[in-house]
Amino acid sequence: MNKPSVIIIGNGSHARMIQELIEEDGNYTIIGVTSNDESATDFYGYPVLGSDSILETYFQKGVKYAAMGIGGFKNNNLRRKVFNYAISIGYQFINLIHSSAVVSKYAKLGQGIVINPNVVVNNEVVLGDNCMLACGSIVSHETILENHVLISAGVVVGGNCTIGEGTLCALGSKIVSGVNIGKNVLVAAGAVVVSNIEDNAKVFGVPAKKKIGTQ
């Protein structure tokens, strides 16, 4: 039986990680990647199909699945934009979960979820669409991650938290239980969030506070 075809969107280092997860998963055939670099022709043995605009052409050819190969270390704006573009065409994003991750059977996952090595997702967690959990991160019980949230490596999110759409929790940050974080927030690397954070804020330090002069 032929495996469904999937296109990886992007050709950077994050896409390389997605490639490996798909190969480990074994349920899809990678037909290529997209890139906005016109000089790119090859991606670790897979063809560069063209820019993101080529997605519509391949959907018309019968390719229905995509994988998000775009990362985001400052914000999730590009990931969200490209995800929504592909969804508007009709693509379905596949979920990728590394074999070493521990994901409760009582967790609820949207589409386009990426869960990397040694991640723990506890019971009653809700992951919205296009969420990415990097290596060694932990999301505790009954926490909600809204769409397009990126959890970086080593982040720990306590129980009964809500993290708003588009928020990025950077490397090694910690969110104590019961905290609500707004939409499009940047939680800086190493920050410890102990109280609620408003939309569009950038917070730094221990305990995490809004940096003067930021929105």
Sign, CA dihedral 106-110-115-120, equals negative
Would you give per-residue pLDDT tens digits along the chain (215 residues)? 689 999 999 999 999 999 999 999 999 999 999 998 888 889 999 999 999 999 999 999 999 999 999 988 778 899 999 999 999 999 999 999 999 999 999 999 999 999 999 999 999 999 999 999 999 999 999 999 999 999 999 999 999 999 999 999 999 999 999 999 999 999 999 999 999 999 999 999 999 998 765 55
Domains and CATH numbers, the chain: 5-93 (3.40.50.20), 96-198 (2.160.10.10)
Select from 10, 6, 143, 139 the least CA-distant residue to 69: 10
pTM of the predicted model as reported, rounded to 2 decimal places = 0.94
Cα–Cα dist 125/121, whole Å: 7
